[in-house]
Amino acid sequence: MHKKNLLGTISLIVVGIIFGAILVSGFGWVRPSLADIQIGADRPPVEKLDVNAAAFNEAFVNVAQAVTPSIVQITVVTSVKNKMPDGFHFFFPFKDDIPKEQQGGGSGIIISNDGYILTNNHVVEDAKQVTVALHDKREFEAKVIGTDPTTDLAVIKIDADNLPDAYLGDSEKIKVGQWVMAIGNPLALTSTVTAGIVSATSRNINIIQDKYGVENFIQTDAAINPGNSGGALVDLNGAVIGVNSAIATDGMTQRYIGYGFAIPINLAKSVANDLIANGKVSRGYIGVSISEIDAATAKAIGLDEPKGILVQDLTPGGAAEKADVKPGDVILKIDDKEVNQPNELQSYVASKRAGTSVRLQLFRDGKEIERYVTLKSREDDSDAKVVNTKGGKDIDKELDSKEISFDDIGLSVRNLSKDELKEYKVNNGVIVTDVKNFGKAYNQRIGENLVITSADKKEVNSVSELKSIIEKKKGQAVLLKLVDQQGNSRLVGIDVPK
């Protein structure tokens, strides 16, 4: 009996040991209860966030909370006619008269607490119906107050009070590299906030399809997508510094691939004020055709470095001509603001009303001079054409067809015939007959069939005169005036090797 009890006790001990081993092993036959599971570490890797990092993070949070209520979602209905090939009109003679509606939209910025909203022209252009949804989910029908295709801006109005209007900052103070946030409604996702930096300023991307289009975009890598148009680009103070307007896309998906572009708020404020007050923009124009200055042109003009904006042509009777601005002048500053890109000057002038006086600091013939220009409205110059400032002698005699090559600059020219002088509407000049690929002339976009009317600001009546001028400029640069068959002219500098 004792033996049996002892064997039974030993058996129980053995079974217990085996069962315990199973529990401890990884067989997974026995699972712990949910209360016993512990997921993740006991504490974060950084238990106390650095004060500066915490403040930086909080800045984004504060701006998002403060500015988002000032951004609205805009839904637009437009009518589109059904276009058909002419051959089908016999069978469907009234097809084009049946309107079709399509819906689109974007974003907007509340700029007054009584309901004025700033957005893009392309958001509300040709709108039949405009609806605005606020951050608090209220909806209002909106009225288009005015549009400005030249800057792609527009103002709409809703009947509401006590709205959270945005603070409009100063886009002149922004710097490349500073943090910014884009707030809007991309891809129908309301109240979306993205962050990035200012990647560049004064960008001209040739997207505004208007003869007088003004492009001086702020470039940012904060994600901007369709639907963001008209939304806000803000700094870390919560100040609106730009109106989001365009994106770089791959051409197929029309989605963001790295960069977005915003209209500077200083220009937008000026346009908005005019649209609210008058329903249109009474913009001033300076009456010049301008271009950027490269190293060779700067050298030819006598500048110590490529800076300023080169005046190519003038509008006859325009503001600049009346103020004694001349082709070949370099605009260094306007009202103490340095300008080195044509769109910088255009954007500044576009923010001024007709009748406003601006001060130009010019470089002419090795000296800096000042001219005060009273801006004129476009209507005042609507019938004007660009001056080509031909000047020169009245050449009645038939010129010979002598041709000469300037191998060191990659250019060949010959004298003009009497008929060619009439065709180009010039009184003097020589015609470019050949341009060497990748030579100095080629790199300055000088092409065949252009007429050189002056060199080093001296009239050119023959190839021998041009040769004499160029030989005197060896080791320097020469400024050439070129005229095309449409009568357009431009100034360009070209290096002349020793």
CB proximity list for 16: less than 8 A, separation 6 or greater: none
The per-type count for the chain, helices as H runs and strands as E runs, is 10, 27
By the 8 A CB rule, do 448 and 433 touch? yes
Measure Cα distances from 83 to 86, 103, 104, 129 in Å: 9, 18, 20, 22
Which residue in the list 70, 107, 199, 229 is annotated as catalytic?
229
Which residue in the list 70, 107, 152, 462 is annotated as catalytic?
152
Show the tokens assigned to 408.
């060191």
Q: CA 328 to CA 141: how far, in whole Å? A: 52
Report the chain's C-alpha Rg in angstroms. Answer: 34
Helix H or strand E encompassing 71: strand 71-81
Q: At what angle do helices 265-278 and 342-350 cross, to 10 degrees?
A: 30
Show the tokens assigned to 298.
């700067």
Cβ-based neighbour number of residue 490 at 10 Å: 19
Q: CA 202 to CA 154: how far, in whole Å? A: 21
User: Beta strand 309-314 with 330-334: parallel, antiparallel or unpaired?
Assistant: antiparallel
Helix H or strand E encompassing 396: none
The residues with which 264 forms a beta bridge, in sequence order, are: 242
CB proximity list for 198: less than 8 A, separation 6 or greater: 174, 175, 176, 177, 178, 180, 218, 219, 220
Torsion of CA 358, 362, 367, 370, to 10 degrees: -10
Backbone phi, then psi, for 52, in 5-degree steps? Answer: -65, -40
Q: CA 403 to CA 424: how far, in whole Å? A: 19
Q: CA 289 to CA 473: how far, in whole Å? A: 27
- Nearest CA to 469 among 420, 413, 422? 413
Which residue in the list 70, 107, 122, 489 is annotated as catalytic?
122
Show the tokens assigned to 90.
């016999």
33 is catalytic: no
Q: CA 413 to CA 403: how far, in whole Å? A: 6
Show the tokens assigned to 395.
């050449």
Residue linked to tokens 């945005």: 166
122 is catalytic: yes
CB proximity list for 234: less than 8 A, separation 6 or greater: 63, 67, 169, 180, 181, 183, 240, 241
152 is catalytic: yes
Residue linked to tokens 């070129």: 482
Show the tokens assigned to 34.
């949910």
- Residues known to be catalytic: 122, 152, 229
